[in-house]
A and B are shown apart, each in its own frame.
Chain A
Amino acid sequence: MDNIGVYAARVAPKFDGLAPGHRACIGCGEALAVRIAMKAMGPNIIIANATGCMEVISSQLPATGWDVPWIHTLFENNSAVASGIESALKVLERKGKVPARGTKVVAMGGDGATSDIGFQALSGALERGHDFLYLMFDNEAYMNTGIQRSSATPWGASTTTSPAGKKSIGQKTQKKNMAAIVAAHEIPYVATACPSYPFDMMEKVKKGLAVNGPAFINVFSVCPTGWRSAVDLSVRLGRLAVQTGVFPLYEVVNGKYKITVEPSPMRPVQDYLKLQGRFRHLSENDVKEIQERTIHEYNMLKARTTC
């Protein structure tokens, strides 16, 4: 159900947890991703939000953009706070101090807060098996503080701390595969999603909330500011990332891999790279290398779905 767009979109929930008027940049893919996720989750949630773009744009004192209970946490303890909320709710409900409403706990963070700084807290929370959903909004660098590289930055991307030049190609290392790392914790639900495929994403968020135990979704959020791309292209860039195989959409339910949006026929990665300023220094050979690696990684993923 990935291309039923035009009419089915009108029956999507009207609930909007993130109020309009927030301070996100024009064309922000992350704000769009949050809104789509909120539609799927509904109002009966508590959010723990790590420091990052989403916290800064939505909560400038004395205003707040959130229509649901929301707490701002530090980079490193986001998952710990979320697991604390979940445990407290469980106890209070058992003691009858709050009515059992089936409130779910959601943790949100960027790629820096998840794959770099908050990683050990996340790993701990997953291992302890708390019933919460972690949404990682992956814009592939520390965009909020000025586009510094993170471990989720792809190879060859130019950022302010991995600038491209005569002696540097930009980011020298490959993107950390967070979904696979989290799947190795053997939690019930892991998925990758992209707001350019809203129905697919809403379905995954609903599944992640419904499972009993931890769930993790890696959400690809296009960032026109950091990626040096045109602001009207963020939804298209998300689609191209999926269709070129750079960011395949799949889910891992109890260890079983399944690709939800097949990128077939696969586009050349050039379609995706040429729209972004952070990749414009790449030579033809570099693009070829990225293409080969993308196909290799996609085949590896494909192999996992069959076993």
Chain B
Amino acid sequence: MDLNYSDEEKAFRAEVRAFLAENLPAEVSDKVRRGISLGKEGHEKWHATLNARGWLAYNWPREFGGAEWNAVQRHIFEEECAAAYAPRIVPFGLSMLAPVLQKFGTKEQQDHYLPRILSGDDWWCQGYSEPGAGSDLASLKTRAVRDGDHYVVNGQKTWTTLGQYANWIFCLVRTDPEAKQQEGISFLLIDMTTPGITVRPIVLLDGTPEVNEVFFDDVRVPVENLVGEENKGWTYAKYLLTHERTNIAGVGFSQAGLDAVKRIARIETANGRPLIENPHFAARLAQIEIDLMAMATTNMRIISQAASGQAPGVESSMLKVKGTIIRQEINDLTRRAVGPYAMPFASEAVEGDNAPIGPDYAGPVAAHYFNNRKLSIFGGSNEIQRGIIAKVKMGG
């Protein structure tokens, strides 16, 4: 048992920190810290900066142009990025689709799509959920019918995050309605400019147009856009979900969020004293920090197992549940910390650069509290995760 990082790992951390100090513009980290949207271009710029250093695809194997970092390196990088308020890497192409193509795609698909993900030529979005298929994803109904060299796709996807920026969507579609639910699903790559596709924004409760509905009306998709075998899509989808769950604990986000709320609580006052000295507030803060310290170690224990080649199983479900609870508690505490200045609806603070109302840190905190209720809903809701944990551990 040794709780310290090795010398190589410490050197790697120093390298990441130096890179961020040099390459992360203050105006960008300031936006991330204040929770202001970067827009499509902002994300693309940051991707390009990382790509120039060879660090954009840090989870990809070297043969595809990735950095092939192990789990500990990834964790160090993610932690440093969160601490420096670097933009998050948009995951859809890089850490969701790419691993599927690398494992199940054809050589042609890999050669065509992977470089375009790195270069930023393509922005991918995810076509999984449907109005009737949320937690029960396998009940999805979007149909793809073979017609010569094409599939004809009809149906609707929903909760498509940042679909408004995307030019490609990877979709789960039903190709065999007669088979058992999980066995009639295929994995299709669809060009968003194909006739018959309509993207409609869904405004979330904090006012942000972050997610979309995507409608397919007789959309013709070339058969070579099928990934792997027809009707085997569920296997690929499950593989993708295990990759979606890297960094699922969000330790770096929580650490950065905790630092932010501490900074706010040193400025805010209650009864003439800094809020951070208020016993009830301090107790809440301490409670969260204690939980986070333990979860960081749980996270490292699981990461070490993964680094030594053991695939994380039910543990990633545990991290999802605990990690999202902690992040949501931090959002709640931050909302409380700013007092009455949580009330203004600062949509401009989330989306733009207008002068804030009250202190500059107050604008988006209530919006973030509401927006991050999604953390325990998406990516397999916490109820689904608890079900998995119980089922696996009880041998069901």
* Bound together: no
Residues of B within 8 A of A (CB): none
Residues of A within 8 A of B (CB): none
